Structure formats: structure tokens, C-alpha cells
Amino acid sequence: MSPVLDIRDLHLSFKGYGGLSEVLHGISLRIEQGQKVALVGESGSGKSVTARIVLGLLQETRTARIRGAVEFDGRDIGAMSARQRAALRGTEMSMIFQDPTSSLNPTFTIGRQFREVLGRRDPGIGRAASDARATQMLAEVSIPDPARVLAAYPFQLSGGMNQRVMIAMALANRPKLLLADEPGTALDVSVQAQTLHLMRELVDDHGTSVLFISHNLGVVREFADRLYVIYRGRIVEEGPAAAIFADPRHAYTRALMDAVPRITGGGLPDVPEVSEDFLAPLIRHEEDAA
């Protein structure tokens, strides 16, 4: 059986006035059926552009230069037409963004937005069938009064409630692959923890594969089966999440772990700084390899 997502030797660069700026330097990544994989790195490391390539969005950008193979369910995304790639989005693969409030249209009710999502897979779906499916999905994300939420606008709901709506919408068409880009980052930590726990239970129940994008190893530890650490457009460490957390081999992975906030005796978060001296040998090594 082929993996749900297979990325091999992926390179990305952008053409500008000064020439080509390379962003991804031959990354490879696999996600098997039902597997939860995390891609972890700081801002600017190449996480989100990787997700945009998987979604088939950067292929439409004139300044982007993409090399390598990206296969979804055995199909080469690069060889598809723009229409074929667009047909995958919202049906066989879905995306959850980090800020649910800005991801939902404030001028439409939740019920109408659900109908648009469900219409991606079933264009002829009626309002009654759509509302029934939406009610079922909202109940699955532990929303106690689905009818009220379907009639509400996003600004009438809390951030945590909107995030649950986004999860329900993303899973409504039973996608094979879910891409989650820093979900819950805009929420407070307690609501974020509840949301991620709920999402983990749902994807396990639905057998959905997940590419979870994050900079926070503390969050990833509770969610992912397998971990890829990306630094300056290169995968520097990969393996089962439990094994990497038990014995991180790369200096950058250890730096990310050291940056996880800890609660001190005074009740304030202690966030150790990663010094320039600590990362300098690593940066020189990466530049020499390039």
C-alpha cells in the first residue's frame, strides 16, 4: 500500500530581482495511512511552504521553482492540472489554520459555510442533508447546541468554539489527509490543550492521516506519532516521536526542546534563550553543506 503522502527530495526556490533564493533543500517526508506526523521548526524554516506545495497552491505561483516528487495517495501532485489540484482541496485533503476567527467568513452563518464545504464533495447536497451532516460533525467535536451554532455567525462564538467548528468542517468530507498549521496557537493554553486532545481523538476515529505543523515541541509531544525537524529548509532529524524526545541527536532539536516554556517555583514561565554561540557551529556546518 502506498503512503498517503510521499515527499522525495523536494526543492523550492523563488525567483526575484537578485536571482533565485532557495528555501527548501531536498526535504523528504512520508505519512502512512492513519499516521500523525509533525513537521517542527521555527518561523521561516520551511514548514508552511511545504504544506502549500502539498495543497497545490505554490505550483500556481509564477515566481516559485519546485523540483522533486510530491505524491498524494500514489498520484503525482506536480503532474496534475490546476483544476485537478483544486478538486483535492476540501475533499481528499483539508487544512486547519492557526487562527479560526480569521479563517471563517464573518458575513455568513456557520450553517451556510458548512454547506459550501460539503458541496465540494457533493455539489447537489440540499440544506436539510447539509444541516444534518453538520449537526453530526458539531456533536463529534463536543459542541452541545449544534442548531444554535449553525445559525450563528463566527463573531458570535468564542475562539475555542470557532476552532472546533474548523475541525468539524475539515473532517466533514472525510479527507484522507489533514494538514494542521499551528492549530490552537491563537487560543489560550487550556483551550488549546482541549482542542488538540479532541482533534487527536477525531482523527483516530476517522483513520485520517495528519501533517501537523508547529514550532512547539511541547504541543507535538502530545499529538504526533512521528517527528521531522526542519531547520533552514533541511530535515535535520526524523524518527518516532517518543525516540526523539527520549534521545534527541541534533543540536537544533535540543535547542527547540530547551525553548519549551517551563513553570518555575515563582509561577512564571522560564524560557531559556538559545545563544548565538550555541548555534554558531551548527549554522557554519549547514552553510558549508550548502
Position 271, amino acid: V
Q: For the whole model, what pTM was predicted?
A: 0.84
In the predicted structure, residue 273 carries a pLDDT above the cut 70: no
First to last CA, the chain: 35
Q: Which residues contact 21 (CB under 8 A, 6 or more apart)?
A: 13, 14
- The cell for 50 is 511545504
**In this predicted model, which residue has the larger pLDDT, 223 or 228?**
228
Q: How confident is the model at residue 205 (pLDDT cuts 50, 70, 90)?
A: confident
Q: Which residues contact 148 (CB under 8 A, 6 or more apart)?
A: none
Query: Average pLDDT of the chain?
Result: 86
In the predicted structure, residue 64 carries a pLDDT above the cut 90: yes
pLDDT in tens, 31-59: 999 999 999 999 889 999 999 999 999 99
Residue 157 has a pLDDT of 92
- The cell for 198 is 479532541
In the predicted structure, residue 123 carries a pLDDT above the cut 60: yes
What Rg do the C-alpha atoms of the chain give, in angstroms? 20
Q: How confident is the model at residue 266 (pLDDT cuts 50, 70, 90)?
A: very low
Helix, coil or strand: residue 188: coil
In order of their start, the domains of the chain are: 5-289 (3.40.50.300)
The answer to whether 41 touches 255, Cβ cutoff 8 Å, is: no
- For helices 110-121 and 127-140, what crossing angle results, to 10°? 100
CA dist., res. 251 & res. 255, Å (int):
6
Position 115, amino acid: R
Helix, coil or strand: residue 17: coil
Write out the E strands in 130-242: 177-181, 209-214, 226-231, 234-240
Strand partners, 200: none
CA dist., res. 52 & res. 173, Å (int):
20
Angle at 191 between CA 156 and CA 115, to 5 degrees: 45
Q: In what order do the strands lie in the sheet with 5-16?
A: 19-31, 5-16, 64-72, 75-76
Read off the pLDDT of each residue in 94-113 and give the average, rounded to a whole number.
89
